[in-house]
Amino acid sequence: MNKPKAIIFDAYGTLFDVNSAAEKSKNKIGDKWEAFANYWRTTQLEYTWLRSLMHRHKDFWQITEDSLDKSMKVFNINKDMKAELLNLYKKLSLFSEVKETLENLKNKKMKLSILSNGTPELLNTLVVSNKLDKIFDDIFSIEEVGIYKPNSKVYDLPVNKYKIKPNEIIFLSANTWDVSGGGNYGYNSVWVNRNHTVFDNLDYKPFKEIKSLQQLLDIV
């Protein structure tokens, strides 16, 4: 592969730990906090796909709230915790290696961007709160096209902005469906497999598989 012209990152689950909101409230939620967090995330993703298929778009924040409502009922969590959990979702933690890795990549003179289901406001809040605001050239939100990943209109966004080919992009995600979506579109998709899981059968084999973003430095 020639030197890439852009490195594009998924946000949720790749840069930011989606379970960290529930984890910060685990003293109130109890031992079921992790199962609850996983259910909330799964429901959230299902709602993005279903709404895309139904052409009934809601932005990611509304979907996050809707999926939380269902998850709290399923896990019998006190409804008074809703505001706390939503507020914590706006302040998700970075995975431990992310900041240092991004700072090292910034020195390589390539475009660094986020491509995410999140709203511009949510993504900007996360970037600023985690002190990454001087890292990224662009933050691409699906709100520009009004449909969620893995629709190809989403993956078009950085290609159109930078006037480059899909195969000139390295795309990173911890979500196998997103790796496949980007890869089938034409990106060099890298799977960040932190949890040692099994890849989905979606007609794409990852360009690379890494366990930590730090390993990206060996690729570029």
Catalytic residue IDs: 10
Strand partners, 192: 210
- Contact between 99 and 130 under an 8 Å Cβ cutoff? The reply is yes
Structure tokens at 29: 């939620």
Could you tell me where the beta strands, DSSP code E, fall in the chain?
6-9, 111-116, 138-141, 169-173, 188-192, 208-210
- Whole-angstrom distance between the N-terminal and C-terminal Cα of the chain? 10
Order of all β-strands in the sheet with 111-116: 138-141, 111-116, 6-9, 169-173, 188-192, 208-210
CB 18 within 8 A of CB 67: no
Residue 213 three-state SS:
helix
Phi-psi group of 186: left, alpha or beta (phi > 0 → left; psi -120 to 50 → alpha; rest → beta): left
Q: How far is CA 64 from CA 26, 51, 78, 119, in A?
A: 19, 13, 17, 11
